[in-house]
Amino acid sequence: MGNHPETAGGGLGGRLTPPADNGYPEAMVPLLLLACSGSSLDSGETSLGGDCAEVPVVTYANFGEGFILHHCQGCHASTTQDRYGAPETVTFDTVEQVWQARDRILDRAASEPPTMPPAASTTKDDRTRLRWWLLCAEEGT
Ligand code: HEC
């Protein structure tokens, strides 16, 4: 309560309701704006809140593979020793498997707050890129 500035992005991520979409400050995604000036993303929900033509090209090759490796494969690779309960059917070894689970991944890992990975180790920028990838890239890339 009290004095929290509206633009206190990057805090603990505990915001439960998405901010209103009017006049949402672009400063919420400062790092990404360096690479992408002028986009008006709403990073508060799973939707892109903008136009795919305005966002950087994000693919498995330049982002997804590393993201999945670091944040998901610890439990969701077929070769992992201890899946910590992750279902056998939810395995992300290949780009095809990722795209097959696209909607579930967006729902669990690109939402605010995310529910995957369970430890919530991703940053808001990671989740924005995840949306740019799975909502805008050519399917299967
Ligand atoms: C520490 C282990 C762990 C990590 C890391 C992890 N998961 Fe999971 N995942 C689980 C467990 C356990 C379940 C089953 C329970 C559940 O659904 O919450 C699961 C289930 C899922 C499901 C199937 C359930 C559904 O809602 O459709 C999806 C999709 C998923 N995870 C996506 C991801 C993504 C994407 C990442 C990386 C961003 C990730 N997970 C990282 C442990 C993990």
pLDDT digits (tens, 9 = 90+) for 47-93: 787 789 999 999 999 999 999 999 999 999 999 999 999 999 999 99
Domain-located, residue 3? no
* Residue 84 Cβ < 6 Å to ligand 1: yes
**Residue 32 structure tokens:** 């990404």
Structural domains of the chain, count: 1
User: pTM, whole model, 2 decimals?
Assistant: 0.76
Residue 43 covered by a domain: yes
Is 130 a member of any domain? yes
Indicate the residue type of 126.
D
Q: How many CB atoms lie within 10 A of CB 11?
A: 9
Cβ of 5 less than 6 Å from ligand 1: no
By residue range, what is the domain housing residue 114?
26-136
Residues 14 and 113: beta-carbon distance below 8 Å: yes
> What residues have CB less than 8 Å from 138, skipping those under 6 apart?
none
In-domain check, residue 16: no
Domain presence at residue 9 = no
Helix, strand, or coil (residue 67): helix
